[in-house]
Every structure is written in C-alpha cells, then in structure tokens.
Structure 1
C-alpha cells in the first residue's frame, strides 16, 4: 500500500482519533498533519510493519502526549454550549454532552487514550496495548480507573461501595 492510499483510506479515522484525543478540531488537524508528515518520511519502514495502522495510531497518541507535556497552559477548549443540551447516559445518570467531554478531557492522558481507543475506535485491549506500548492488563486498569473517575465526578455511586 502506498502512502497516498493509506492516507486516503485511513486519514479520516486518524483525524477522528486526534479530535477525540485533543477535544479541539484545529489542534486535531495540526496533530494529524504532523503525524502524517512524520509517517511519510518513514513510510517504507512503517508499511513493512505487521500492522501499519497500529504504528501510526501510536505515533498519533505519542505526539498528543508530547504536546500536552510541552504545553505550559492546561486550558481545555470545548465547543460552545448549545441551547438544547444533548444527553449521554453515564452509569445510569444523564450528563450534558459538553460536560461529559470536559470530564473526559480532564482525565490523565493514558486514561483518556484508553477510553477513546476502546469506545470510539472500538479496538480490543491487545491492540490498544500495542498502540500505547503497555500490557493488556494495564489497558484494563486504565479503563477501570477512568470509568470510576468519571462516575465519581458525575456523582454516580459505585455498586459495591468501594472505589474500583
């Protein structure tokens, strides 16, 4: 597969992943372009990998994490609040969609990446582990902690009375 074919088929999905990781469409465009330009330079090596898409997704997650580390101001940009809020079900409690994104963007980088890759990209734990360069057990731990963190922030009580 040529680089142009790869970008044509996977470019929109990479942008969507970047959008979900960053929470900002302009930053997502920049991040996707930055990663694709790096991938272009190394495409011969990347295309020979067992799963080039996993490799490029890892580049995207790593570039996003590096950007957050370099950034001195941790303000989070969200879209304007609409007149009629959309509702999302979170553990039995409804939360405003914009509020939910604010909460997700407030999670630590790894927890946010795990949630996005699992629930929006629909990837399995083994693939997420490859992208994040960790074990599947670590992926499950981050997912449990992220969901517990979100439930706590939304005021949803845990079922067994203890934190997960």
Structure 2
C-alpha cells in the first residue's frame, strides 16, 4: 500500500470500525475476541488496501475477512480454551437468566446457535444482506444460505424457548 492510500484507509476505518466490532461480537459473543478479530481483519485489509479499493467494495471485502477469521477461530480447538483464575460457580450461572433483559436473552440464545448458522443469521438480519450477498460473503450457494437461515432460526427459537422455560 502506498503512502497516499493510508489517509483513505484511516478514514474508512474511522467510519466502519464500530460496525465491524458489533458484527464480530454478534458472531463470537465475546467483546475481547471481537476486538481481536476486527484488528486482525483490518491488518490484513491494510496490507492489500490498494487492491481492496479497486474492487469498489471495501465493506464486503473486510466483512469476508472478518467472517473467515471467526470461522477459522471456531475450527481450532486450542483457541477455544479459556484460562480462569478461579473456577466459575456453575450453580450461579443458571440464576442469572431471570435478570436478563430481552436483548441479553437473544444474544445468549444466539451464542447457542452453531457458528456457521450464527454467521448466516448475523449477515442476514444484523447486516441486512440479501441471500445472494450473504452467499457471496461466505462463498457458498444461495440454497445453502436459505437452509442455514432456516435451521439457524429454528435453533434460535429453541434456545429462546429454553430461556422462557427457565424463567418463572
């Protein structure tokens, strides 16, 4: 990337970073991991920014990088390990469901949906992409997007129903 492209990249990042961070959070359910995913996606985009801007769709290009990073992260078992100073109290975790608001219940339920289906749901209903745009972003067929959307919504409904049963 040339020096003359750096201000353009900075301007684009300033305008889009918070949206990318929210999308990453919806995908992974962890603000710290979301920050890491966005930073890595922006680093990779910066390296090829000249080519990205020639496509005329930098948002789609960086979103694709973000999705690939998230899905890659989910595939690697060692990255799913969490270090804890103290073991969490398992009995206390169930009691928190009562205090959750509607938004938190939906986010918690979304985290129970399989990663690929979650990616499709985030693209379709958070990013408001069409079936075709989602298929292009994930590199799959439109039929795959339709079936993953259907299965993902079914899984999300099931997770939400579980929360409703758990709350008095």
TM-score bracket relative to the smaller structure: 0.7 to 0.9
Q: Which runs of 5+ in 2 are unaligned?
A: 83-92, 163-168
Which structure ranks higher in relative contact order (CA pairs < 8 Å, sequence separation ≥ 6)?
Answer: 2
1:70 aligned to which of 73, 76, 94: 76
Structure with the higher fraction of residues in strand conformation: 1
| Structural mapping, 1:41-60, within 5 Å | 41-60=47-66
User: What is the distance in 2 between the residues matched to 1:47 and 1:54?
Assistant: 11
| Contact 1:125-1:140 within 8 A present in 2 as well | yes
Q: TM-score, normalised by structure 1?
A: 0.77
Cα distance, 1:141 vs. partner? 0.9
2:139 aligned to which of 120, 133, 136: 133
Deviation per CA, 1:15-73: give whole Å up to 9, x if none.
11111111011110111001101110111111111422111101000001111111337
State the superposition RMSD in angstroms: 2.5
Give 1 or 2 for the bigger CA radius of gyration.
2
Q: Which runs of 5+ in 1 are unaligned?
A: 89-96, 157-164
Matched length = 144
Q: TM-score, normalised by structure 2?
A: 0.75
- Pair 1:141–1:48, CA change in 2 (3 A): same
Structure with the higher fraction of residues in helix conformation: 2
Cα distance, 1:137 vs. partner? 2.0
User: What is the distance in 2 between the residues matched to 1:7 and 1:142?
Assistant: 30
Q: In the alignment, is residue 101 of structure 1 matched against residue 107 of structure 2?
A: yes
